[in-house]
Amino acid sequence: MIVRGDIIFTKEATEFTIFEDSYLLIDEAGKIEGIVQEIETGREYTDHRGKLIIPSFVDLHLHANQFANCGLGNDEELLGWLEKYTFKEEVKFKDLDYAREIYKLVLNRLWEAGSLRSVIYASLYTKTTSLLFDLALESGLSSYIGKVNMDRNVPEYYSETTEESLAGTREIIERYGQISQLIKPIITPRFVPHCTSESMAGQGKLSIEYSVPVQSHINESKKEIEWVKSLHPEALNYSSVYDEYDLFGEKAPALMAHCIHNTKEEIELMKKRQVYPVHCPESNANLSSGIMAVKKMLEEGLPVSLGSDISGGHHLYLPYQMVLAIQLSKMKGRLEDDMSHVIGLPEAIYMATKSGGSFFGKTGSFETGYSADFLVINTDSLMNIKEERSIKEKLEKFIYIGSAANIEARYLEGKLLEKPFKE
Ligand code: GUN
Ligand code: FE
């Protein structure tokens, strides 16, 4: 397959690689073969001249069961928000009919937003988590999906035993671990305060036994960190609790949402383990959690990515997270009188594509051998008058003032993806 258009992507975090009016060559397996300026006359290609061809987005952290709460409950900090709004919504997913309706919407919205790959917190309930797997397999999208584990410090109406937690996680891995290259399980301890040591040890063992990656939350709010200290007074820090139970990237890849209030030692350990820090700017602003030191972490060589973290964040559409990530980095720079915190558009795109995409292997870039995951963007409606804009400016306008309506086509592994479910 060959696609013609204005090709732009981030091979590096700090700069765009741009090929004006060029051809993206894609092999039979859906991998990028190369980019050329010309092809032999007579060869067929898909013509997107004047449109942008960009890597599709990767959302490395979201809670499918919180989708209906987007836009609600923005008057609390993390721990109060969980109790007052979040568990009350998540418990509704005992009802498979309700879950089916919401999950179809979530998958449709991810498709619309161009987030063709994602990492998802599903449900506490194993049956409901299976349902999300089945729908995701039908959708054509690519996701890691986790059964949420929480066996301590949770309300009675929304809890499970340690045995249920581990048996449910094993059941999901055995059922879905080997059936698809696109949809895979991920071990999901909700966060340290909600998992007993026995549960965390069991989850770590499952991760090693089946070579399954791990996702969780870390260092999001100061009260949460105090809570972890009181639960694990012997631990050096929050990270070392996960690490003790093999949930911190040593034996299998781990991604950790938030990473705001890290100590120096924790950053060192993250580097050693190549943990994926997921930046969730909208959620961090809504829950007044703080501002992640994105630029510093990128400079440390950490694979920082972006997450919508709905419904901590209230938009699935990732460009909102990109813009806010840039804005918050400026605020951090100004507040700390250190403008080296500031990131620009290249870093935001890089986090949402190549950096986050590396969790899935070679995805998120247009270098040779990468998966041909891309979006076709028409920016005509964003130009007020007949503006002559560069490719970089067109991308900037799309990210800042565009919407999913500007995405004309979505391709995953070289195949055109249609909207998954009828609405
Ligand atoms: N920490 C534990 N659970 C959650 C959650 O659902 N959202 C966020 N943002 N942080 C959490
Ligand atoms: Fe979260």
How does pLDDT run across 397-417, given as a tens digit for each residue?
999 999 999 999 999 999 999
Q: What is the rounded CA–CA span in Å between residue 229 and residue 68?
A: 33
147 lines ligand 1 (CB under 6 A): no
CA distance 124 to 147: 6
Token code pair at residue 196: 């007993």
Residue 193 alpha carbon, nearest atom of ligand 1: 2
Helix (H) or strand (E) holding 71: none
**283, 243 contact by CB (below 8 A):** no
Strands (E), 56-199: 57-63, 115-121, 142-146, 148-149, 183-185, 188-189
Residues contacting residue 158 through CB under 8 Å, at least 6 positions apart: 87, 90, 91, 124, 150
**CA atoms of 16 and 9, how far apart (whole Å):** 6
Atom of ligand 1 nearest to the CA of 121: 6
Q: Quick check: CB of 89 below 6 Å from ligand 1?
A: no
Number of helices (H), then strands (E), in the chain: 15, 17
> Residue 238, Cα to own-chain centre: how many angstroms?
22
Q: Which two tokens stand for residue 2?
A: 């060959």
Ligand nearest to the CA of 190: 1
Return the DSSP state at 267.
Answer: H
pLDDT band (50, 70, 90) for residue 68: very high
Q: What is the pTM of this model?
A: 0.98
Phi-psi map region of 311: left, alpha, beta (phi>0 left; psi -120 to 50 alpha): alpha
Residue 90 in contact with ligand 1 by CB distance below 6 A: no
Q: Is the CB of 78 under 6 A from ligand 1?
A: yes
Per-residue pLDDT of 166-221, as tens digits, reads 999 999 999 999 999 999 999 999 999 999 999 999 999 999 999 999 999 999 99
Neighbour count for residue 83 (Cβ, 10 Å) = 14
The answer to whether 139 touches 420, Cβ cutoff 8 Å, is yes
- Ligand closest to 81 (CA) is 1
Q: Ligand 2 (ion): which residues have CB within 5 A? A: 257, 309
